[in-house]
C-alpha cells in the first residue's frame, strides 16, 4: 500500500522500535501517525518535536477499554486507519522456579496482558473499520504488523513469560492471515533480535556483549532505524503476507 497520505497507529510508538517506526512513516509522507503508549512524558516530547502529523495518546494496551476509546478518537479525527504496528511490550524476566520459589502469577499475567492481549485488543478494535477502507487496485484495505522476538524461537533461561507471549504472536500470524485476507488485510510478524532500544537499558553490558557475540554479521546490536526499514518494505510490498521475518544478524541465542 502507499504510505503517502495514510493513517497509521503504532502501539509503543513513543520509544524504541515503535518510535523509529513513527519517524520513518512521517518521513515517507504519512498523513498521520498515532502513537499509543503509556509514557506520557515521552509522548508529549515527541509531539513537540515531530510536528502536527504525530499524535500521542496515553494508552495501556492491556486495558481493552482504553484501547477502544483511543481507537474511536483516531477514527473520529482521521476517518480511517490503514496500518497497525503492534510494538508495545514489557520484558518481565522470571524463571518458572526461581530462588524465591515458583514464578508469581501476577508477573506472568503482566507479561501476557501487555505482550499478547495488547495486540489482540488493538486488532479487534481496529480491524472492523479497517475492513471498510476503500480498497486499492489489488483490493487491499490495510496492513497489520505484530512485533514478536527471537525469543519466540530460542527463549533464554528466565524468559518463560516473554517467550510464551512472543511465540503466541508467531502462532496467530497464519490463522489471522487466512481470516483477514478475505477483507483485503495483510498480516505480518517481525521477530527482531537485539536492538539498541530502551528495553535493553537495564540489561548488564556483559549480557549484551554475549548476545552480540552470537550475531554472525554485523557484530553489533541493531539500530531502531534498521527495523523501521523493514516496516516500510512490508507496507509497500503486497507480497508480504502471513509470514514471520527474523531480523537478527543471523543470531541464534544460547540458553543463557
79 grid coordinates: 476517518
Separation between Cα atoms, residue 118 and residue 123, nearest integer Å: 9
User: At a CB cut-off of 8 Å and minimum separation 6, what does 248 contact?
Assistant: 150, 191, 192, 193, 194, 215, 222
Asked about 54 being catalytic, the answer comes back as no
Across 157-256, the runs of DSSP E, i.e. the strands, are: 185-192, 244-247
* Count of beta carbons in the 10 Å neighbourhood of residue 10: 29
Q: Measured over all CA atoms, what is the biggest interatomic distance in the chain, rounded to whole angstroms?
A: 58
Active-site positions read: 162
Amino acid at each position: 500500500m502507499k504510505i503517502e497520505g495514510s493513517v497509521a497507529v503504532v502501539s509503543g510508538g513513543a520509544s524504541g522500535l515503535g518510535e523509529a517506526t513513527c519517524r520513518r512513516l512521517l518521513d515517507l509522507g504519512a498523513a498521520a501517525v498515532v502513537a499509543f503508549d503509556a509514557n506520557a512524558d515521552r509522548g508529549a516530547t515527541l509531539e513537540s518535536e515531530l510536528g502536527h502529523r504525530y499524535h500521542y495518546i496515553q494508552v495501556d494496551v492491556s486495558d481493552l477499554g482504553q484501547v477502544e476509546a483511543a481507537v474511536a478518537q483516531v477514527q473520529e479525527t482521521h476517518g480511517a486507519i490503514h496500518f497497525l504496528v503492534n510494538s508495545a511490550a514489557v520484558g518481565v524476566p522470571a524463571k518458572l522456579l526461581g530462588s524465591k520459589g515458583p514464578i508469581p502469577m501476577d508477573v506472568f499475567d503482566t507479561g501476557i496482558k501487555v505482550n499478547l492481549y495488547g495486540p489482540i485488543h488493538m486488532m479487534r478494535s481496529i480491524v472492523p473499520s479497517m475492513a471498510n477502507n476503500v480498497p486499492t487496485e489489488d483490493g487491499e484495505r490495510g496492513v497489520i504488523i505484530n512485533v514478536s522476538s527471537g525469543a519466540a524461537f530460542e527463549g533464554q533461561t528466565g524468559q518463560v513469560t516473554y517467550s510464551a507471549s512472543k511465540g503466541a504472536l508467531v502462532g496467530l500470524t497464519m490463522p489471522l492471515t487466512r481470516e483477514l485476507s478475505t477483507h483485503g488485510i495483510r498480516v505480518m510478524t517481525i521477530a527482531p533480535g537485539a536492538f539498541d532500544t530502551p528495553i535493553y537499558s537495564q540489561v548488564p553490558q556483559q549480557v549484551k556483549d554475549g548476545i552480540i557475540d552470537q550475531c554472525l554479521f554485523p557484530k553489533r546490536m541493531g539500530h531502531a532505524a534498521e527495523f523501521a526499514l523493514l516496516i516500510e518494505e512490508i507496507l509497500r510490498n503486497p507480497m508480504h503476507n502471513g509470514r514471520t521475518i527474523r531480523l537478527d544478524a543471523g543470531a541464534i541465542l544460547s540458553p543463557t
